[in-house]
Structure 1
């Protein structure tokens, strides 16, 4: 699999309404929406937002059903990362008030148990590193075994860029899904990260897919990118075909290069959710970081009715999330059952 330099295109016809065309392509023909149409969707006004969200919801129900996958995350190693991702307060290159901390194995198991108690089927172990060293891989091996011995939950991981040997080791130790985000469109990536390349990220993603592990790969929006670059990111993710796409909204962190960017407007965020659903009709599309700041309670509800079919409950890596009980209560109100553990296997 290679990275497409130019966005995937489906040239719109001038006499067909953009949402009618999207409905025909995605719902009737069963195809993902291409780059040009995604740009037009992102340019639709607030007067058509409700119609767009309804279309995205129909797409989600047709291809994914009404169940919602629930996941919790924990940081095994926080802070002190050598990379310079401009949105991230865990970088050791910035003045963000995050310092390096390691969790031990009992703490990992305790966090996994707490996550399972919410009804979650997925528990993701995250480390702020460029890639795992021998110490981190050994701690992962011990931690995954300890969790599997005591908790009935799937274990995922996010440890940065991998070698083929590390990919194989993670698969063999029982990690069933690996997260490695593209972060931004290829054309915007150099404005977001300079210490590694988009191609390096893509390579890790393709190795994970080839290994048999599920690939979780998404990005952030609201970092100053253009609408066209938002559509580009969605199209490049569609080309990669990950099992899951976490959609993050920038929560500006003090001390980072993006710390002064204004949070994304909620209607723009909802349009983005719907556009990503149309680009990725069969993919798990997960609410991730920043939704509380960008969307609030009402917007969170609208997003769940506009294409989202998975959530991270509780806190994120360096920012606070919603109380898990609030998310679970909302899912109940919307008659969206939580996907059972055996449904994720």
Structure 2
């Protein structure tokens, strides 16, 4: 694909539009960023970092996650080893309340202000909601940390129940562009996910919504996804890079190159100048240590520390040491929530 002069000028356009005026890039403009040659990457990352500093500030939000219910999910998300439909090695398991509280304490000890409880389900049943009610209360009684949740698709009653528990942020990823979603999931629709997110926002909880890059989508679809997230206006966007899992339909896909991943980080920052943009799964194999640092200097302003749901992450000590090296302060726990 030939890079046009218009594409090459997109950095100048973004500097005026995003950095100076605070207006995110459009879908067409994001596509121009994604088409930039690798030689433009240093300038692009520098601009994305300046945008982050201006519109979000210097702080980095640190979060830990734990799986309350692992494996045995009835959905067929092609990237996920927790699906009960694939011959992947993850098997169903539940975490008890004391284990949940201990995980929250360990997360808080790293300096994290956010603890997300995740369950591999289509949506929560009454057993899971009861576990959440007990677990959230136990955590709030024992640990000074904000509780988030990710339990799949919700009914209005469940949304209201989670808000009453004190869950302040709900994660439900759209995963990919609307046009690409049927290639990734067939057991439910993109629109069903969107409906849950709409109810979450209306209930007063913060919306956490991102996805996975590198699942066979085109650059055009990657730009489409960034624009759809911008339209949703989430408080946080976790950005994952596909880490192909054995036994899943995407198990043989090649991970993105570090240059492509970094370009995506910068493009999403320029589309979402005021949003928390969080490093999530896959950065270890896609970016490595050097790329992780470049991303933190290229638009990222939040990290998940420790392991993910079914894959290993960097140790919390490594990430915290990197933030210290880069002189990036960790966001303090808000006392107003």
Shorter-chain TM-score tier: over 0.9
Among 241, 245, 250, the alignment partner of 2:237 is: 245
- Give the superposition deviation at 1:29: 2.1
Moved more, 326-335 or 19-28: 19-28
| Corresponding residue for residue 69 of structure 2 | 77
Are residues 1:38 and 2:16 paired? no
- Structure 2 unaligned segments of length 5 or more: list them: none
Which of 277, 280, 290 is the equivalent residue of 1:298? 290
- Once the 2 structures are TM-superposed, how far is the Cα of residue 342 of structure 1 from its aligned partner? 1.9
The CA RMSD measured in Å over matched residues stands at: 1.3
Aligned counterpart, 2:322: 330
Q: Deviations over 1:183-234 (max 9, x none)?
A: 0100000000000000000000000011000000000001110011111111
Shift of 1:30: 1.6
Aligned to 1:132: 124
Matched length: 334
Q: Name the SS for the 1:160 alignment partner.
A: coil
**Counterpart-to-counterpart distance in 2, 1:76 and 1:144:** 11
Q: Distance in 2 between matches of 1:71 and 1:139?
A: 21
1:121–1:344 contact (8 Å) kept in structure 2: no
Q: Equivalent residue for 1:4?
A: none
Give the structure 2 partner of residue 109 of structure 1.
Answer: 101
Q: Which deviations, in whole Å up to 9, do the C-alpha atoms of 1:244-268 show, x marking residues without a partner?
A: 0000000000000000000110000
Q: Once superposed, which parts of structure 1, at least 4 consecutive aligned residues long, lie more than 3 Å away?
A: 12-16
Change (3 A) 1:304 1:15: closer
Asked if 1 retains the 8 angstrom alpha-carbon contact of 2:8 and 2:36, the reply is: no
- Segments of structure 1 that go 5 or more residues without pairing to the other structure are 1-11
After TM superposition, give the deviation of residue 15 of structure 1 in Å.
9.5
Q: Is the 8 A contact 1:82 1:91 kept in 2?
A: yes
TM-aligned CA distance change 1:16 to 1:261, over 3 Å: closer
Matched, 1:203 2:195: yes
| Contact preservation (8 Å) 2:74, 2:121 | yes
Q: Which residue of 2 aligns with 1:23?
A: 15
Match of 1:230 among 208, 216, 222: 222
TM-score by length of 1: 0.95
TM-score (norm 2): 0.97
After superposition, what is the alpha-carbon deviation per residue over 1:30-52, rounded to whole angstroms, capped at 9, x for unaligned?
Answer: 20100111001000011100000
Residue matched to 1:9: none
Q: Aligned runs of 1:127-206 on 2, under 5 Å?
A: 127-206=119-198
